[in-house]
A and B are shown apart, each in its own frame.
Chain A
């Protein structure tokens, strides 16, 4: 079974621009969570989607948003990019809440 995939893998943007990242979960997994990883900050939870509905949300500003499609693929969008948004963005999928979460390879975003 194919693992979680993310596109693009690398991205360079400038301040003020917006960006959309994509995540395709493992087949049959209905939950997709997004995390921001920066050096020294660990994995910061952004939000989780389950069956096209946002189920949980972390403490990030409204510039960070997401959605999930009927095939469980998910996108996250960051508008008005700031330098501090430079990070590795990881998504993770799981079939149901009580099951294990598996991570994608991440998208490394650099904001100049």
Chain B
């Protein structure tokens, strides 16, 4: 089955700096890669996703890049703000194979004001 590794496990940045979280996956059939943000005591919320037919997707301060050859994808947050502080999870799944979604272990991002 799919195995997703996520790094770093913790990340601390100064407000206004950029943050990058990286994930690798093992199943070459995986074609859908969402990112979730989980604030303390709340449910994971989808913040951005990318499908394997594109290499990059951007939504305001958040971007995701995908390298299918190397089987890794990254989340980039620019101009970080204290409200970006949360745990971020990457995930991968082969959507059309009816595969389940596997998650990385999470990255705890702290943005210091």
Check if A and B associate.
Answer: yes
- Does A100 contact B46, Cβ atoms closer than 8 Å? yes
Give the distance in Å from the alpha carbon of A90 to the alpha carbon of B98 in the complex: 20
Consensus secondary structure, chain B interface: mixed
- Does B95 contact A43, Cβ atoms closer than 8 Å? no
The 0/1 profile, CB within 8 Å of B marked 1, for residues 74-105 of chain A is 00000000000000001010000111111111
A-B contact count (CB 8 A): 55
Partner of A58, one of B46, B96, B100: B100
Interface residues on B, range: 20 to 34
Which residues of chain A have C-beta atoms less than 8 A from B67's C-beta?
none
Give the distance in Å from the alpha carbon of A104 to the alpha carbon of B44 in the complex: 8
Is A25 on the interface with B (CB-CB < 8 A)?
no
* A90 CB, min distance to chain B CBs, angstroms: 7
Is A61 on the interface with B (CB-CB < 8 A)?
no
Smallest CB gap from B43: residue in A: A103
- Does A45 contact B102, Cβ atoms closer than 8 Å? yes
- Does B43 contact A42, Cβ atoms closer than 8 Å? no
* B98 CB, min distance to chain A CBs, angstroms: 5
Contact surface of A with B, Cβ cutoff 8 Å: 33, 35, 40-43, 45, 48, 50, 55-56, 58, 90, 92, 97-106
Give the distance in Å from the alpha carbon of A42 to the alpha carbon of B87 in the complex: 10
Give the distance in Å from the alpha carbon of A11 to the alpha carbon of B102 in the complex: 26
Contact surface of B with A, Cβ cutoff 8 Å: 6, 32, 34, 36, 42-46, 49, 89, 93, 95-106
Give the distance in Å from the alpha carbon of A35 to the alpha carbon of B97 in the complex: 20
Smallest CB gap from B87: residue in A: A42
- Does B44 contact A100, Cβ atoms closer than 8 Å? no
- Does B100 contact A42, Cβ atoms closer than 8 Å? no
* A73 CB, min distance to chain B CBs, angstroms: 18
Give the distance in Å from the alpha carbon of A43 to the alpha carbon of B87 in the complex: 12
CB within 8 Å for A90 and B43 given contacts A33-B100, A41-B105, A56-B100: yes
